[in-house]
Each structure stands twice: as C-alpha cells, then as structure tokens.
Amino acid sequence: MTTPPIVDLHGDILYDVTHRRVFQGERQTLETHHLPSLRRVGVKIQVLPIYFDSLNLPEAALRQTLLIVNALLEELDEAGDHFTLIKTKADLAAVYDSDKIGLLLAMEGAEGLGRDVGLIRLFFELGLRMIGLTWNRANALAEGSGENTGAGLTILGRQLVANLADYPVILDVSHLNEAGFWSALEHGRGPVLASHSNSATLCPHHRNLTDAQIKALAERGGLIGLNFYPEFVAAGGGDLIPNLLKQVDHIANLVGLEHLALGPDFTNYLPNVQMSARELATLNIRPGAVTTSADVTILPEFHEALLTHGFSADEAALIMGGNARRFLAEALPG
C-alpha cells in the first residue's frame, strides 16, 4: 500500500546542512544528502529545528542561530525546485498541490534570543513558525528536562510564551521540565504541541510526558509527535516498531487518535556529532552508550505496522501526517 503524505514534526537536518556548508564547503546539501530519502518514503512536510551544541553557549548563540537560518535560505536558493519554506496557510496548501517538499523553520532551544525576547519578531520575519524554549539544558527562559531543579518558566520565558500568539508562532513543549510545561500552558494563548515526545507511563524518561500532560495538550487541541529514539520509546529496549505501537495505543486510548503525529527525531545523518559528557548527562545516557537510532526509511514500515495492528487506512493516514496537516492549517498565520 502506498504510504500517505508524511509530516515529520522534528528532524535535525539543519545541523547536518550547516556543518557540511561551513566546515566542508559543500553546497546543495539538502538536495544531495536528504532529498532522495525524503522523496522515497513520502515526506511532504519537514519541520527543521535550529539546534546547536553547548560549546556555542552563551557567547555565540545568536551568531550560530543566524548562520543556521542563512544556511537554510541559501539551500532554498540552490534547490528551490524541490523545497519551499512554509510561512502561511496558503504556503501549506500550495505544497500539497505541488511536487515540492514543504519546510517549516523551528527552534529547539531559544538561546539565540538571549534576554531580548522581542527578537522573536525578527525571527518570525525570517520564517520561524515553531519554538521550543529549551533543549535539555536550562537557559534564560526555562529549564530543560535534563537540567531540572523544579522551577517553571522565568519571567522572560513567561513574557515570550504570552506573546507567541500575536504572530502566531507555535509553542513546542518537548524538552521542557514538567514545571515549565505547566507554566507554558498557563501563560501561552496560542497553538501548542509536543513535537517529539512519548508517554512516560510506558517509558519513564524525563523527555517523555505524563498522562496528565498528554491530556492537557489534547484539551488545548495540541499534538504529541511520536519520538522514534529507542531510549524514549521503551525502558526495557526491544523491537522498535512493536514498542512504538504500544505508545500509539496508550496515547490514542488516553486522548484520541486525532492528537497523534510523528516527530521521529532521526539522527542517522549526524554521525560526526560529538556530544559532551555534560550533554549526554542531560539525556541520562552515559558516554559511549548512545543507542543507534532508526532512519527515515522506517516510516513506510511503521505505516504498514499500523494497518496490520488494526488501524484503518484513514486512521493510519492521520497519524502519518493528516493530524499534523490539520493542526498546521489552523495554527499558521493567514
């Protein structure tokens, strides 16, 4: 069976693109290294978060953020026949009427704003449409789940979250500590999701969500993007797809299938990334013990598994991309 159009709510492709452009002098890296696999499996929308490692913090955060955005814009100039940047509802609709893959710019950690949260206006103009306040680490806005003292959003974090709806920019609560999650929902007025998190009931890792958090997101019309990273799927390990199906069943039974999406968090294209011991500690993973992740080619297999598991073709299509498409159509500016 043909895989329905896929929406991937979280893929660190820009990290790879920027590294190849800046350090290896490559060009057309999206077209050369990522387009073939995205096309082959049927990815229609790819969310691209801005992420960089702790070595750039705090001094180079803004410069690194701008370098990454600039790399994306240069890539679009070089591969405009294949990709387009989605900024509006009309852009989203046009992608589905074309052969292009739509790209949506996000932040995974807002360190680039520093303490000047008003810079969100500048990044909105550059195309930013989704923001997570933190990665696992803490910053001036909030605490990540890996550097958690139990504090909620800072005053600056509350101010930023309260203003996101004015643009709008989608709030992503993946990576926030639990106190920050509840603070974000209290102060935020706009669209909200967890782009790449699973159920903590099934896999009690700090990166995952409690049942209460999942219910709260659903009550706000939000999505939970299934994360395919094995450490976040099942505490005891085992076969990835059967464990993902358990995540699907749990979340669907808890809040309904309409709140499920995909946020696979594939990292197979980042073989040269070297995390510091401190960064690995925020993941609860010891140096040298990082689990190998799947790659985008698993998505058709996952779709087939949904059908075999008993979901109808329409239900499987919603999980693969239909729910996320609906969410974006409502959340993006006109």
Residue 138: half-sphere exposure toward Cβ, Cα within 13 Å: 14
* CA atoms of 328 and 5, how far apart (whole Å): 14
Give the range of the structural domain holding residue 190, as residue numbers without chain letter: 6-331
Q: Could you give the number of structural domains in the chain?
A: 1
CB of 194 closer than 8 Å to CB of 207 = no
Q: Could you tell me which of 285, 278, 225 has the C-alpha nearest to residue 57? A: 278
Q: Could you tell me which of 168, 131, 172 has the C-alpha nearest to residue 330? A: 168
The reply to whether 307 falls in a domain is: yes
Q: What averages of pLDDT result for each successive group of 10 residues across the chain (334 residues)?
A: 94 93 92 96 98 82 94 93 97 98 98 96 98 95 93 97 97 97 97 98 96 98 97 90 98 98 89 55 50 85 98 98 98 96
- According to the model, what pLDDT value does residue 271 have? 54
The alpha-helical segments, DSSP class H, found in the chain are 13-24, 29, 35-41, 61-78, 89-96, 120-126, 155-163, 178-187, 211-219, 240-255, 277-282, 299-309, 313-317, 323-331
* CA atoms of 109 and 96, how far apart (whole Å): 29
The reply to whether 106 falls in a domain is: yes
The reply to whether 1 falls in a domain is: no
pLDDT in tens, 135-179: 999 999 999 999 999 999 999 999 999 999 999 999 999 999 999
What count of other Cβ atoms lies within 10 Å of the Cβ of residue 5?
Answer: 17
Q: Encode 289-301: b = buried (16+ Cβ within 10 Å), e = exposed.
A: eeeebbebebbbe
* CA atoms of 325 and 311, how far apart (whole Å): 19
Beta strands 128-132 and 192-193, pairing class: unpaired
The reply to whether 40 falls in a domain is: yes
CA distances from 254 to 131, 143, 208, 261, 290 (A): 26, 27, 15, 15, 31
* CA atoms of 188 and 259, how far apart (whole Å): 19
Give percent of the chain with pLDDT exceeding 70: 93
The reply to whether 316 falls in a domain is: yes
Q: What is the pTM of this model?
A: 0.94
- According to the model, what pLDDT value does residue 53 have? 79
- According to the model, what pLDDT value does residue 270 have? 72
CATH number at 142 reads 3.20.20.140
The reply to whether 42 falls in a domain is: yes
- According to the model, what pLDDT value does residue 268 have? 81
